[in-house]
A and B are shown apart, each in its own frame.
Chain A
Amino acid sequence: MSHDPGYNFAYLDESTKRMIRRAILKAVAIPGHQVPFGSREMPLPYGWGTGGIQVTAAILGPTDVLKVIDQGSDDTTNAVSIRAFFRRVAGVATTERTAEASIIQTRHRIPERALREDQILVYQVPIPEPLGRLEPRIAETRRMHAMADYGLMHVKLYEDIARHGHIATSYSYPVMVNGRYLMSPSPIPAFDNPKMDQMPALQLFGAGREKRIYAVPPYTSVKSLDFDDHPFRPIRAPQTCELCGSRDTYLDEVLTDDVGGRIFVCSDTDFCTERQAVREAAE
């Protein structure tokens, strides 16, 4: 496949790629630290994954195989558009199979299938600053990161417990990376947090509007914040998947009619399709 000759390979100009690549290397060298970068205007609006797209464009090569998921699904508008964008501007092969991809760009999920060392996971991040809701001044949150002063976040989790009896944060659950930096895992469900810890694949995070890139190198400690008497618990709906029968994956609730009918299905469509095929083969 070849790319549209009207664009430079992978859309961005070379000087922008160099700037993003330098930011990525420093982000990898300082796990969990948010590195500012000169985010460019992209041909789609903020909130549609402009940060993730810029990171993907800076690392992508002609032999890569790209998978894009939106909330675990390969066939939603955001995922389909981003795959079509990179097919056009970079001429790369795309796939919906997690196992076949060398780069996976994701919005708000980590695939159920364990990732390998030769894969890179690129997260689309809306709000990179985990302390932003508690302290709106960027000058102040930067100082808090510099001093590893994260007491405020513990107070927030404590107030959850005081009010609800448990930590009521179910997505974007804050993590400590390499025992040093507090990091937002992007709005993935807390169910996915344990997959980040010691993951064999490199994890890169891009926030376009907020102009930040950060990273978790492979085999790096990523711990969800908790308390000794209130340990972190990944939450999932207790149902089984209606389509593949899975009891250990993250489920979406789907309304089927207007009289209260509902089913639960896997949020990771590729994983669910694979399990259904295995089940059919066994029958």
Chain B
Amino acid sequence: MSGTGFPGFADPVLDAQAAFRAVLAAMSRPGQVQRLPPLPEPPPGLSPAAAALLLTLADSGTPLCLAAGPEAEAWVRFHCGAPFAAAGAAAFVLDPAARLGDLFPGTEEEPERGATLLLDVAALESAPGWRLSGPGIRDSQALRVTGAPPGFLADWAANRRRAPCGVDVVLCAGDAIAALPRSVAIEEG
């Protein structure tokens, strides 16, 4: 009895590899929009991109904070086996109400333990909106994010001040993603 009628990757090995390469490209070139391999049908409450990222990265070793409804929880429990945790104690956070400042930023000696926030937005485009700069970007990178939470840029500036600690963000819209590693600076315009 699976407890979920929604499938995972059609090919768990190669689809996870393709999804990982997309998120690796996204993380090493902040703000560039990447496409994830399609998922047959994600459970209600999860975007195709967020669901593919969870299948690719989450497992029993990664506490997960999930606020996407019971069907998504059943799906995660079956396909990933990730233990659920509060936002401040999770390695991966998928909760639209989570604020960057509430998540675990790692420590000075172990900044890699900082959480990764998967943030669903309405749309991602390579168009003027935000101007990103930092490691991974030659001069600057334009990214237009529709539907970012209010006050996100101020939270991001505070997150960046904690360097090398901090939270890394992967923005998800449909099957598209764009990453904001903690090292990147964001300006409007």
Report A195-239 CB contacts with B as 1/0, cut-off 8 Å. Answer: 000100010000000000001011111000000000000000000
A202 touches B112 (CB 8 A): no
Q: Which of A19, A27, A147, A218 contacts B112 (CB 8 A)?
A: A27
Report Cα–Cα, A217/B62, bound state, in Å: 24
Of B18, B111, B116, B164, most buried by chain A (CB within 10 Å of CB) is: B164
A8 touches B28 (CB 8 A): no
B16 touches A14 (CB 8 A): yes
- Chain B binder among A57-65, A93-101, A185-193: A57-65
A22 touches B62 (CB 8 A): yes
Chain B residues with CB below 8 A from A128, complex form: none
Closest to A38 in B: B61
A199 to chain B, nearest CB (A): 11
A29 touches B56 (CB 8 A): no
B14 touches A9 (CB 8 A): yes
Closest to B136 in A: A217
Q: Number of contacting residues on A, CB 8 A?
A: 44
B135 touches A217 (CB 8 A): yes
Contacts A9-B14, A180-B163 known; A219 to B181 CB distance under 8 Å?
Answer: no
Report Cα–Cα, A64/B91, bound state, in Å: 30
Chain B residues with CB below 8 A from A36, complex form: 112
Closest to B108 in A: A146
Q: Which of A33, A35, A59 contacts B21 (CB 8 A)?
A: A59
CB-CB contacts below 8 Å: A49-63 with B: 58-62
Chain A residues with CB below 8 A from B116, complex form: 25
Contacts A9-B14, A14-B12 known; A30 to B59 CB distance under 8 Å?
Answer: no
A33 touches B14 (CB 8 A): no
Q: Within 8 Å of chain B (Cβ to Cβ): is A166?
A: no
Chain A residues with CB below 8 A from B168, complex form: 25-26, 29
Report Cα–Cα, A228/B182, bound state, in Å: 31
Report Cα–Cα, A21/B136, bound state, in Å: 18
Q: Which of B18, B57, B136, B137 contacts A18 (CB 8 A)?
A: B57
Report Cα–Cα, A14/B16, bound state, in Å: 9
Q: Within 8 Å of chain B (Cβ to Cβ): is A68?
A: no
Q: Within 8 Å of chain A (Cβ to Cβ): is B94?
A: no
Question: Interface on chain A toward B: helix, strand, loop, or mixed SS?
Answer: mixed
Q: Within 8 Å of chain B (Cβ to Cβ): is A28?
A: yes
A25 touches B164 (CB 8 A): no
CB-CB contacts below 8 Å: B1-34 with A: 12-14, 16-18, 20-21, 23-24, 27-29
Q: Within 8 Å of chain B (Cβ to Cβ): is A15?
A: yes
A23 touches B112 (CB 8 A): yes
Q: Within 8 Å of chain B (Cβ to Cβ): is A174?
A: no
Contacts A61-B14, A61-B17, A219-B137 known; A18 to B59 CB distance under 8 Å?
Answer: yes
Report Cα–Cα, A26/B138, bound state, in Å: 20
Contacts A59-B21, A202-B28 known; A14 to B111 CB distance under 8 Å?
Answer: no
Chain B residues with CB below 8 A from A21, complex form: 20, 24, 56-57
Contacts A14-B13, A19-B61, A29-B181 known; A218 to B136 CB distance under 8 Å?
Answer: yes
Closest to A148 in B: B164
Q: Within 8 Å of chain B (Cβ to Cβ): is A246?
A: no
A28 touches B137 (CB 8 A): no
A218 touches B181 (CB 8 A): no
Chain B residues with CB below 8 A from A62, complex form: 14
Q: Within 8 Å of chain B (Cβ to Cβ): is A24?
A: yes
Q: Which of A59, A143, A145, A180 contacts B24 (CB 8 A)?
A: A59
B27 touches A29 (CB 8 A): yes
- Excluding A21-B57, A61-B21, A202-B28, 17 further A-B contacts by CB distance (< 8 Å) are A17-B16, A21-B20, A22-B62, A22-B91, A28-B136, A29-B182, A30-B164, A31-B183, A36-B112, A58-B20, A61-B18, A143-B109, A145-B109, A178-B183, A181-B164, A198-B138, A221-B135
